[in-house]
Chains A and B, each alone.
Chain A
């Protein structure tokens, strides 16, 4: 059985989530093709072809694919599924946007947000915000799967697949792209960062959040996260949100500053390799998951941490 991976990319580059989804796909089949759908996406397709384990890259280009319209992806992917037994996409916003649409057209269930492949039709996935892990067996001949990529190792470079251009479908008629505003980040992306510095409601204002969190993140080359409480209070933009309703992350190091550790936040970061908590409340639930805790006011602890990092040559 051959499987298809829908690549996550920005036309110029393939994102790390794609490499991780390919790892999940290779656990289903040795025959993994990658679909790069976009606009002027040749460079991304060339990169995808160099990922180890990829058999072939399919490149489809049109305006509506570049705009990420779910209707265009449906029209592109559903006919391709005659040649594949499964399609996998990282569980990014875009993956979540398109995969159920493809599943419904194929009249199959979506297997959402998998964290483990047990066998060709059995998967583990978190439910109830990660408070339970469900092992789910699919009876469908064709499977539509979204992958929680942070739980899979990235496939290595070193492949030499061919790139085949395939025709793009006609543009959808009932929906039109108006505009897009992407935040230009000078820092690593939250989903791909090795280190994340996260701030909570204790910051008290957006100015304080930036004053405290930004320099520490810069020093560590880290991405910035925030608890839902901090986002709801307007201290940080929504795309910083880590948790059940935001992003689920698993960096090597997660530093939680002034975050109490509500269930909804823990659901988004508890798979991090090392967790550090800085909080003045010694009873805060965040300390129950932290490898290293500092019971201290962030106002004194963060400057001390900056100094200690400088002293350690950071």
Chain B
């Protein structure tokens, strides 16, 4: 089985995003960038499938600037076999990303696309479902457990108020939630080995997919800051404030 894992280069999840003073976006200059945490979980799951003999090839694909090669290298160091970068300095919208990935799926013919449920920059959480729709493939979003048997995947997914189990015919799109696994730290020998694994770099223009934007960002603003309140001495004082001042009890 061949698994395709899309990965995205985003601001490191431990760093607080700061809005640019001209309100045109978030300042990413000189900010630490990393693999999107949910993408990392998807890579881990794909690599585990390979280690169990369920998958025989794991391909990591990224769409982004030249530095996104580092993101692909992270996936290769974790155990992916090879990489593909669709290089662009534009920031394609989720629908455009889904269309590009559809083109990649048509070339690579994977049995499974395993990807993060959302990226922590745009927070749209849309690409997996959009890709499934464009391919007319079944989908299982927010997966917390995946079992592959033959040409079927049994997926436990997190739904409102509990868990749901679906059985999907492969090929399918599955998106990873936080609980799916805990990604490994790549070992030094594996990081060295990853440097020799192939990454194919293609220009965005090599694809005929329609990547024209549908949305315009008019403004990116900082949210209203919450004022720190008062520190109280006793629980009794707290209850009295909540009752009489805030009126929430």
On A, residues with C-beta under 8 Å from B are 8, 67-71, 74, 92-94, 96-105, 107-113, 122, 126-140, 172-183, 185, 189, 191, 195, 220, 238-239, 244-245, 252-253, 263-264, 270, 273-276, 282, 287-295, 301, 304-305, 307-309, 311-312, 314
Contacts and interface: CB of A to CB of B under 8 A. Distances in A.
Nearest to B218: A135
B98 to A, nearest CB: 6
Contacts of B221: 132-133, 135
Given A294-B232, A312-B239, A128 B172 contact: no
Q: Is the interface of B mostly helix, strand, loop or mixed?
A: mixed
Given A128-B17, A273-B248, A291-B246, A179 B164 contact: yes
B172 A174 contact: yes
Nearest to B241: A292
B interface bracket (residues with beta carbon within 8 Å of A): 35 or more
B242 A276 contact: yes
B94 A290 contact: no
Nearest to A96: B125
B24 to A, nearest CB: 11
Contacts of B220: 127, 132-135
Contact of A137 (B16, B215, B238): B215
A99 B228 CA distance: 37
A274 B227 CA distance: 11
A282 B231 CA distance: 9
B219 interface: yes
Interface of B: 11, 13, 16-19, 26, 93-95, 98, 120-134, 137-142, 144, 154, 158-169, 172, 178-179, 213-223, 226, 228-232, 234-236, 238-243, 246, 248-249
A312 B133 contact: no
30 contacts: A71-B138, A92-B160, A93-B142, A96-B141, A99-B129, A100-B94, A100-B126, A100-B128, A101-B133, A108-B214, A113-B124, A122-B218, A127-B121, A128-B11, A131-B18, A132-B17, A132-B19, A134-B219, A135-B219, A178-B166, A180-B165, A181-B162, A185-B161, A191-B160, A253-B246, A253-B248, A270-B226, A274-B248, A292-B242, A314-B249
> Which residue of A92, A97, A264 has the most chain B CB atoms within 10 A of its CB atom?
A97
A174 B249 contact: no
Contacts of A112: 122-126
A134 B219 CA distance: 6
Contacts of A253: 242, 246, 248-249
